[in-house]
Structure 1
Amino acid sequence: MKILHLISGGDDGGAKTHVITLLKELSQYEDITLVCLLDESFAKEAKEAGIHVVILKQEKRYNLQIVNQLVDHLKDGYNLLHCHGARANFLGMFIKRKYKIPMVSTIHSDYRSDFDNNIYKKMVYTPLNYMSLKRMDYFIAITEQFKGMLVKRGFKEDKIYVAYNGIAVEEKPCSLTKEAFLEQYGLTYDKNITYIGIVTRLHPVKGIPVFLKAAAKVRQRNTRIQFLIAGYGDDKHTEKYKDYVKQHGLQEAIHFLGFVKNIPSFHGAIDINVLTSHSESFPYALLEGGLHRKATITTAVGGIPEMIEHDKSGLLFEDGDYEALSHAMEKLADDEALRIALGDALFKRIENNFSDKKMARMHVDIYEDILKHHHRK
């Protein structure tokens, strides 16, 4: 099969990790081309991963001259167009008028919330993306929860497939020692301390106040715990979170590390991995922690309960319940054997269900099924 993947190329976070991880492995099975509309770090990283990348610059979102260039590419023997994100979906709608080829879009998130951080974009791009999605032939949802969401909103169930995010299990990440990693941030490693970490953007949707409130509760009863926050955000929210720490006298316990490039080393340094998001899809922050066999505590939102089974491969708590989070933190801090058991169970679950190889094979099966139905038509 010859598949063309289309993405804006300005994506970051989970979507970028998903697409690069998927296409790197998928290229072992099929003829894959990734078209990026922006020449930014996304395209550079994809090329470094060995993916065949073509850059077709679209200076402005509404410049539709790019459609003809994309159609010309598709005529070079491609069997299917796979779109990622609102801009790609929008262009797919116009490609469909000019060239008959089956189209599929991956649902990485709730499309109604994609532009919540910008009121103008939400008013304009959200309805445009919905209109584009309604003209798509097929969908790949990254969780069963997203599939159910689409069905409830009127999308045809038999056009929706599910393929979970995957991560490269066989690649052993290189990490600094705990001592060396913490030293970079002016911290001294102490084997008698339990390190609890969170990797996330410092954005309201990520529930940082929940993490901070739980940490404050824990420190009232246990001073042998340190909290590490890896991530960045706008100045307004970052200062707000740092002010909370100062007001509660937690400067010696909670450490804002800022942007951490070496995430494997971060996971190597912590004992417990936490996620407090109010909304999530199928987060790589948990898969990455699981790769290091870290015990995990996370909100039971989005597709997370499909990844982590409560009390078997991690601990789940209800969104916003910082009391429950604080108890879970203390429970794991006091029980190293339980931490090890939960971390090992999550690693096994990832290895069996959420590897890059399994994700790629699922996509090959989906493509074959789509083409089979397309040829019948």
Structure 2
Amino acid sequence: MRIVQIIDSLEVGGAERMAINFANALSNEINFSGLVATRKEGDLKSKIENNVNYFFLNRKSTVDINAVFRLKAYCKKNDVEILQPHSSSYFIAILVKVLYPKIQIIWHDHNGLSQFLSSQKWVLLKISSFFFKGIIAVNHQLKNWAIKELNCKNVIYLPNFTKNENSYAKETKLRGNEGKRITCLANLRDQKNHFLLLRVAKKLQITNPDWTFHLVGKDFEDKYSKKLKTSISSNQLEKSVYLYGTRNDIVNILNQTDIAILTSKSEGLPVSLLEYGLNKMAVIVTKVGEIPLIIEDGVNGFSIPSESDELFYESLITLIEKPALRVNFGNAFYRTIVNNNSESAIIREYINWLQEI
């Protein structure tokens, strides 16, 4: 097989990480594994392994004809059989297929809000799906949605996966007191609902002021970001909640962390959750997307309703007061990820599915 992953950028994000994870994993399993970043490179470029054929397309617009022809030429030169566009990058794959019909397209849908696409984007996706050979959905809800709404019968659910990094940088030094840090790995987007985190932080500031929150993720410098920063300031949380922006040394950050959280109001299957598990973190997460299939409340972490401030706070207090429970949760969570979200098992299922279709 000769497969190329396509992603809009290599900035830090879940879909971007999975595009790289697939390219890296497949490089050890198939004849040719490539990765194309269409619009922008980024911090994740350093995560691409040497045996992956990497190409930066430098696409300038949605319909960049020169970029389409460059991608077609890349596919012909490398005798590519399958393009696997992730999330919104399916459109350029469609344009290449029009020019080069032998190419097959496998769309990888990561978007936990796909059901709420604008009407214009929805029509484009519905038409584009006629060209898909198959669809990969990262949660069961998206799988059912694709089967019902799109024009492609070959749909499979494949959970996200990650793997341990054998070596990692040590660039970030978290603020706050050692042994009393709570980290949230999530880009600053409305879907991630950081305002729940701030409400909990305000409660914790009163009862446990020596504990601090550390928000790691891309800052888009938009209305959501400005509102979040204003709320931190107006609630006098500057010494309780710290923003770090995009960071590459996630393992190093988690090694400085005592509790990891996600406050999302919608999700697919967040890659950050898998990273928490591989690093044996005690977690508190919201019951959205596929998260309840990973975290069993009270067994390998706490899983709570997405708008329950009080329950989130109470769970946090429990973990703060019970260090042994944090260790037990972390070990149980690690076993869950190794057993259910291992790279080898998912890649094997993926290749078998491709051979069948």
Partner of 1:211: 197
The alpha-carbon deviation at position 161 of structure 1 amounts to: 1.1
User: Does the C-alpha gap of structure 1 residues 326 and 33 become closer, same or farther in structure 2, counting only changes over 3 Å?
Assistant: same
State yes or no: 1:164 paired with 2:166: no
Aligned to 1:104: 106
User: Which of 273, 279, 285 lines up with 1:292 in the alignment?
Assistant: 279
Do structure 1's residue 28 and structure 2's residue 22 form an aligned pair? no
Residues 126 and 150, structure 2, Cα contact 8 Å, conserved in 1: no
Aligned residues: 354
1:181 corresponds to: 173
C-alpha spacing 1:253/1:58, structure 2 compared with 1 (3 Å): closer
Deviations 1:14-68 (A, max 9, x none): 1111111111111001021223333623794365554112344433221345545
> Taking structure 1 as reference, are residues 206 and 356 closer, same or farther at Cα in structure 2, changes over 3 Å only?
same
Q: Secondary structure at the match of 2:36?
A: strand
The answer on 1:304 being equivalent to 2:299 is no
Letter in 1 for 2:80: Y
The higher radius of gyration belongs to 1
Identity in percent? 24
1:194-249 CA-to-partner distances (Å, cap 9, x unmatched) read: 32221222222211111111122233333343222223342643343333334334
Gaps of 5+ in 2: none
For structure 1, which segment, 204-213 or 76-85, has the greater mean C-alpha deviation from structure 2 after superposition? 76-85
Partner of 2:261: 274
Residue 60 of structure 2 is matched in structure 1 by 59
Specify the alignment match of 2:342 in structure 1. Answer: 355
* Match in the other structure for 2:125: 129
Gap runs ≥5 in structure 1: 116-121, 371-377
AA paired with 1:167? T
Query: Measured at CA, do residues 77 and 94 of structure 1 come closer, stay the same or move farther in structure 2, by a change above 3 Å?
Result: closer
Alpha carbons 1:86, 1:129 under 8 Å: kept: no
Distance change in 2, residues 1:237/1:139 (3 Å): closer
Q: Deviations over 1:258-315 (max 9, x none)?
A: 4434222221111110001112111111111222211111111112122222222221
Alignment-mate amino acid for residue 159 of structure 1: N
Q: State whether structure 2 residue 186 is matched by structure 1 residue 200.
A: yes
Number of the residue aligned with 1:373: none
Pairing 1:215-364 to 2, within 5 Å after superposition: 215-231=201-217, 232-234=219-221, 236-364=223-351
Query: Secondary structure at 1:104's aligned position in 2?
Result: strand
C-alpha contact (below 8 Å) 2:263/2:285 kept by paired residues: yes
Structure 2 CA distance, aligned partners of 1:239 and 1:104? Answer: 37
* 1:167 positional shift: 0.8
Cα pair 1:93 1:135 within 8 Å, conserved = no
Match 2:94 to one of 89, 92, 95: 92
**More off after superposition, 5-14 vs 306-315:** 5-14
Taking the aligned partners of 1:110 and 1:34, their CA distance within structure 2 comes to: 23
The residue type paired with residue 16 of structure 1 is E
**Equivalent AA in structure 1 for residue 109 of structure 2:** I
The residue aligned with 1:38 is: 39
1-side partners of 2:183 and 2:161: how far apart? Answer: 22
Relative to structure 1, the CA distance from residue 176 to residue 80 in structure 2 (aligned partners, 3 Å threshold; closer, same or farther) is closer
Q: CA deviation at 1:363?
A: 2.1
Using the alignment, how far apart are the partners of 1:291 and 1:109 within structure 2?
Answer: 23
Aligned match of 2:13 = 13
Q: Tell me, what secondary structure is at the counterpart of 1:181?
A: coil
In 2, Cα distance between equivalents of 1:255 and 1:228: 5
Structure 2 length normalisation: TM-score?
0.86
Query: Which residue in the other structure is 2:135 paired with?
Result: 139
Partner of 1:375: none
Shift of 1:351: 1.4
Output the aligned Cα RMSD.
2.9
**Structure 1 pair 94/131, CA: closer, same or farther in 2 (3 Å)?**
farther
Return closer, same or farther for 1:240/1:65 CA change in 2, 3 Å cut-off: closer
Tell me the distance in 2 between the aligned counterparts of 1:110 and 1:50: 31
TM-score under structure 1 length normalisation: 0.82
Contact 2:201 2:213 in 1 (8 A): yes
Checking the alignment, whether the CA contact within 8 Å between 2:69 and 2:96 is kept in structure 1 is: no
Change (3 A) 1:45 1:38: farther
Give the AA of the match of 2:59: Q
Shift in alpha-carbon separation, 1:59–1:10, aligned structure 2, 3 A: farther
